[in-house]
Amino acid sequence: MHSILYGFIGAFKLILGANPELLRIIFLSLQVSGSALIFATLLGLPLGVTLAWRRVPLRGLIMSLLNTGMGLPPVVVGLFLYLILSRSGPLGVLGLLYTPSAMVMVQTILALPIVASLSHAAIVKVDPVIRQAAITLGATPFQEVTTVVREARYGIMAGVMAGLGRVMAEVGAIIIVGGNIAGYTRVMTTTIALETDKGEFELAIALGIILLLIAWGINIGLRFFQRQGSVRSGVILWD
Amino acid sequence: MGLSLEVAGITKAYHGQPVLQGCSFRFEPGRTYAVVGSNGSGKSTFFRIAALLEPPDAGSIRYTDNGAVLPHDLHLRRRLTLLLPKIGVFNTTVFNNVAYGLKIRGRSTQEIEDRVNDLLITVGLVHKRRQNALNLSSGETKRLGIARALVIEPEVFFLDEPTANIDPKNTEIIEKIILNMKTAEKSTIILVTHDPGQAQGLADHVLVMDNGRIVPL
């Protein structure tokens, strides 16, 4: 009981004292997950839009893969990326294993299906009359797409927030490809795992509190976007 | 002069069910036409085809300007518009909804501001310019749709049931707007209505859609 109490006291001291080690780990986590999310959005949004907009060959298969990808076990993704990036792997020559870049790659792979699938769902839910209205007002094909994407913005943002939630809480995959190297690839979740193993709880609890606050913030953001995208007044744009 | 529209022998079927069976008519520039007909007679299908939203199975749609036949490209599409029965309000402010057609044409901020405000005054929505357009009543939404279409100064304006499902007050406002457009003679107005009285009151010519064909009354 004492160790828990002292753990929390120590954790609050680290947080309130803005411990440099704590801040560095938080910063690296945000940097890795933020970068992964940007890449996942840059790839996933156009993919979701294309699947919603056009009759793409193998569309059913791609959607099925994306939906499966939403529930991929992170350690399996980590394992496969490890095999690809390891010295004997096809991309081993790049020397990316145990670097933040590898962590960004694995988190991008984890977030991509979520962003793509939820963007697709948000776009197909937009009332077709929106697209027709854009056409009747003289929109070019590209302007039609941007108009519909803009209407789906809250659903798309909800997908991005869900992707962020997935990668921020992830530990299995990044520990495999990142290696949990102090001062280089050690992020919040991997530090919590390591410090708990060592029985040193102050830093683990401090990071746990920060992670919970971030998760709470993501949840608030998610709810905000879902609420904005839901029914407003009597005219329904979203189911 | 402005755009003339001539449709000839338009046919359209959905799932083997014929909807239009050889529609032919010439619409003169600056005139107002009302198309009446029972539900399912093909009025909306005709409008969608004439406004180049979808192709016919057979027949021709010829837009001419001073005798020159115009290709069915973006340039032509931007000279006409169709007010759909369901407006398709964008999830943004009333102002941004009306400004849409000008923004996608790359018009200046000042022009957009001036023209949109003028039209919002015309349709009686200027006091709601900053409100989200999804919060408007059905009558206000119709007026918004008309303002959004008028802002691009269409030379051919199709209105598909502009006063359906709205109260008498809003109907009166919309009829007044259409009459003002008719008097200005800047656009060819082609509207669908179920109300023969409204058709007679608003239009220079009343057409009947019967069995997938257009017949002058």
For chain B, 217 residues long, the average pLDDT of each consecutive 10-residue run is 89 92 92 90 92 94 93 95 94 95 95 95 94 93 95 94 90 92 89 91 92 85
pLDDT in tens, chain A (239 residues): 677 888 899 899 999 988 999 999 999 999 999 999 999 999 999 999 999 998 888 899 999 999 999 988 999 999 999 999 999 999 999 999 999 999 999 999 999 999 999 999 999 999 999 999 999 999 999 999 999 999 999 899 989 999 998 999 889 999 999 998 998 999 999 999 999 999 889 999 999 999 999 989 888 888 887 777 654 433 333 32
Chain B, nearest residue to A137 by Cα: B101
Give the best residue of B44, B78, B90, B96 to mutate against chain A (max A CB count within 10 A).
B90
Q: Identify whether the C-beta of residue B186 lies closer than 8 Å to the C-beta of residue B30.
A: yes
How confident is the model over A29-39, as pLDDT tens digits? 999 999 999 99
Sign of the Cα torsion B164, B168, B172, B177 reads negative
- Identify the DSSP state of B194: S
Query: Residue type for A137, please?
Result: L
Q: Is the pTM of this model over 0.90?
A: no
CB contact under 8 A, A138 and B105: yes
A100 part of a folded domain: yes
A238 part of a folded domain: no
Chain A, nearest residue to B103 by Cα: A139
Q: What is the pLDDT of residue A237?
A: 31
A27 part of a folded domain: yes
Q: What Å distances lie between residue A35 and A28, A69, A75, A208, B14, CA to CA? A: 10, 19, 20, 21, 49
- Dihedral through CA B76, CA B77, CA B82, CA B86, nearest 10? 180
How confident is the model over A173-232, as pLDDT tens digits? 999 999 989 989 999 999 999 999 998 899 999 999 999 999 898 888 888 877 776 544
Domain coverage including residue A28: 2-229
Residues of B (128-147) whose Cβ lies below 8 Å from A: 132, 134-136, 138, 141
CATH number of the domain within which A110 lies: 1.10.3720.10
A236 part of a folded domain: no
A83 part of a folded domain: yes
Query: Residue type for B142, please?
Result: K
Average pLDDT, chain B: 92
CB contact under 8 A, B84 and A139: no
Residue A51 in 3-state DSSP? Answer: helix
Query: Residue type for A173, please?
Result: A
CB contact under 8 A, B84 and A129: yes
A36 part of a folded domain: yes
The Cα A42–Cα A219 span in angstroms is: 22
Q: Identify whether the C-beta of residue B125 lies closer than 8 Å to the C-beta of residue B143.
A: yes
Domains of chain B: 3-216 (3.40.50.300)
- Which one of A129, A143, A232 has the shortest CB-CB distance to B104? A143
A73 part of a folded domain: yes
What's the domain count of chain A?
A: 1
A239 part of a folded domain: no
